[in-house]
Structure 1
Amino acid sequence: MFFQSDNWAGVHPSIAANLSKAGEGFAAAYGNSDADRTVLDLFSEVFERDVSVYFVGTGTAANSLALAAIQRPGGAVFSHCEAHVIEDECGAPDFFSGMRMAPVAGRAGRIELDLLSKAMGAYPQDAVHHGRSAGVTITQATEMGTVYSLDQISALSEVARSHNVPVHMDGARFANALVSLDTSPAEMTWRRGVDLLSFGATKNGCWCAEAIVCFNQDLAADLAFIQKRSAQLFSKSRFVAAQFEAYFADGLWLALARHANRMADQLRERLTAADMRLAWPTTTNEVFAILPKRVAGTALGRGAHFYEWPVPSFLQGEVAEKETLARFVTSFATTDAHVDELLEALKA
């Protein structure tokens, strides 16, 4: 009953097999192997345009180095107030970029457009004492299991453009958002004004595969040096490439995300049928429910693994003292039996 996080899941067999295959023989190092070049071409095919790609080891590295590429002295990067980049990365984006994260509120993990406009208006380019706007970062899917619609991404990008700053997307669960919206990678990113993407695959069946995808070539010039200086240029990068090669083959990455989302749909339906209260609607592989503390405690004692989530600001007053907010995350490895076992533990 492992619903703590999708990064608890293992590696998909096809990806593991390709990793094993990559271990044979010799190959050029530091991104110069045939496998590396093949995967860089694959990324361009997936996004329907030439892109620059930089492999990194973690999502935190991807976010931090992407933001370092847009740095401005005195810069402020606008993020949802409860996003991973501002809550869960130990200040790494601030450290590597030399900038500060400026929080913007919004219900269920999404930045509200009017609040973004107001927040950015407080940082005019000539206000030396306060700093200046340097970028906007959005999380897709959000930390709360929701997604930005394509029109919402376009609208946020337009606000950023009005301040002459780029847009970064944290795509730790990029595939889950993509299949939820039933759209294309290009349509969810650069066609909607996104300049940089942290492309995550580790949560969706890979062993350790994250990448910075750069759509704006004006920002790409420094990224190779940023990657090297931050110790993220791997000598045996063919092992990251091998994961991405199998990940993209025959649409595996989308199939894995669809399965994870489908398991979450099933969990949402089962929780509702059991008269348990969903905290807010979600459409990806994260499910949030408000449970009596005794129910949560009993389930944890019976071997269920899930996260007791901090109550967000928009939900204040809706979670009683004897209740807790629980987050359940499904993955490519979640099965119908796992959902059954979880429901049995909660009903107990």
Structure 2
Amino acid sequence: MNFVSDNVVGASAPVMEALARANGGAMAAYGADEIARRVKERFAELFEREVAVFLVTTGTAANALALSSAVPPWGLCVCHREAHVIDDECGAPEFFMHGAKLVGLPGAGAKLDAGAVGAYLEGLPKSVKQMPPKALSISQATECGTVYRPEEIAALGALCRDHGMALHMDGARFANALVSLGCTPAEMTWKQGVDILSFGATKNGCLMAEAVVVFRPDLAESLAYRAKRAGQVISKGRLISAQLEGYFAADHWLDNARHANRMARLLAEGLMRLPGVRLAWPVEANEVFPVLPRAASEALRAAGAGFMEWTQASLPEGETIAADEALIRLVMSYATQEEEVRRFLQAASTALSRQAAE
């Protein structure tokens, strides 16, 4: 019952099989191989247009490189205050932006509202003393498991164009958001104004494979050099490309995300039937954030369940967590089994019943 993250499981069988096939024989090094060519063509098909694609090994590398291409050293990148880029990457984006800064804004469910972002931008001093805003970064899905609708992305995209900013999407859970919305990759990105995307695959079945997908050619111009300087031009690059080839084959990536999302809905529905449990945010992807009695949370840990206690910074208006309650995060993956979910629900039911009897 390990629901700490979707990073805790290994790679899926189709990904490992593709990796094993690519391992034999000799191929061109440093991403000049035939598999990389095919994968990049696949990205163009998925996004229904020509795109520049840079394959990397981690989401932190993807985010840092993407933002470094959009934000000069004297610039500002706006994001949510709980965004991974500002809260979980040890300053890597700012390091690769060579002194540019991130500023985090509030928003319920870790989502940014176009009106609030616009008000912040309008309030910035227009002088050389103030770093000018050059990019906006959004997470899809967000750190609270919520998902930006296409119209919400479009509103942020329009705001970026009005202010001469690039729109970056951190798509660490891109596939989970995509299948939740039921739209196409194009409809969730460049058609709504996204300029550059960190395309995540590791959380959804890959071993270590991510991509920077660039929709604005001018942002791609320096990325090959930036990637090399960051140690992300891998000598045996075919072993990164191969993972993505297995990931995309027969829509395996979408099947993985649908399964994880379905397990999250199953868990949420079961939790909502238990007394004393409520959800902090709606379940829109593969993460569940229940609020439950702290004693029950501790009993679940004692029963072997793995999860994280979560921050209350982005709760909906009017929602509070009492001192004797806990807000926890439960993350489903492509490998989560229905039996695990049912065991967790049974353990939660037992813990709550025991508490009620005391």
Give the TM bin, normalised by the shorter chain.
over 0.9
> Percent same amino acid at aligned positions?
46
Q: Which amino acid aligns with 1:319?
A: I
Match of 1:30 in 2: 30
The answer to whether the 8 A contact 1:109-1:146 is kept is yes
Deviation of 1:261 (Å): 0.3
Kindly report which structure 2 residues correspond to 1:219-298, keeping only aligned pairs within 5 A, or say none: 219-275=219-275, 276-298=277-299
2: distance between equivalents of 1:158 and 1:192? 8
Matched, 1:323 2:314: no
1: distance between equivalents of 2:201 and 2:57? 11
Match of 1:347 in 2: 349
Q: Deviations over 1:220-279 (max 9, x none)?
A: 110000000111110111011101001111111001000000000001100001232111
1: distance between equivalents of 2:314 and 2:299? 27
1: distance between equivalents of 2:349 and 2:89? 35
SS of the counterpart of 1:93?
helix
Q: TM-score, normalised by structure 1?
A: 0.97
The answer to whether the 8 A contact 2:145-2:286 is kept is yes
Which is further off, 105-114 or 163-172? 105-114
2: distance between equivalents of 1:242 and 1:93? 27
Deviation of 1:313 (Å): 4.4
Deviation of 1:317 (Å): 6.3
Match of 2:354 in 1: none
2: distance between equivalents of 1:225 and 1:110? 32
2: distance between equivalents of 1:127 and 1:229? 33
2: distance between equivalents of 1:212 and 1:110? 22
Match of 1:127 in 2: 127
Deviation of 1:334 (Å): 0.6
Matched, 1:190 2:190: yes
SS of the counterpart of 2:147?
coil
Matched, 1:101 2:97: no
2: distance between equivalents of 1:271 and 1:131? 46
SS of the counterpart of 2:186?
helix
The answer to whether the 8 A contact 1:202-1:210 is kept is yes
Match of 2:336 in 1: 334
SS of the counterpart of 1:131?
coil
Deviation of 1:335 (Å): 1.1
Deviation of 1:314 (Å): 3.3
1: distance between equivalents of 2:57 and 2:33? 18
1: distance between equivalents of 2:322 and 2:106? 23
1: distance between equivalents of 2:347 and 2:224? 49
2: distance between equivalents of 1:255 and 1:222? 34
Deviation of 1:9 (Å): 1.4
Kindly report which structure 2 residues correspond to 1:192-211, keeping only aligned pairs within 5 A, or say none: 192-211=192-211
Q: Deviations over 1:198-228 (max 9, x none)?
A: 0000000110011100010011110000000
Give the aligned CA root-mean-square deviation in angstroms: 1.2
SS of the counterpart of 1:243?
helix
Match of 2:307 in 1: 306
Match of 1:117 in 2: 118
1: distance between equivalents of 2:87 and 2:73? 23
2: distance between equivalents of 1:205 and 1:140? 17
Q: Which amino acid aligns with 1:202?
A: T
The answer to whether the 8 A contact 1:60-1:89 is kept is yes
- Report how many aligned residue pairs link the two structures: 347
SS of the counterpart of 1:186?
coil
Q: Deviations over 1:159-178 (max 9, x none)?
A: 11111111000000000000
- Runs of 4+ deviating beyond 3 Å: 313-317
Deviation of 1:347 (Å): 2.1
Q: Deviations over 1:10-40 (max 9, x none)?
A: 1111111111111100010011011111111
Match of 2:53 in 1: 53
Match of 1:8 in 2: 8
Match of 1:176 in 2: 176
Matched, 1:215 2:215: yes
Match of 2:353 in 1: none
SS of the counterpart of 1:102?
strand
The answer to whether the 8 A contact 1:123-1:131 is kept is no
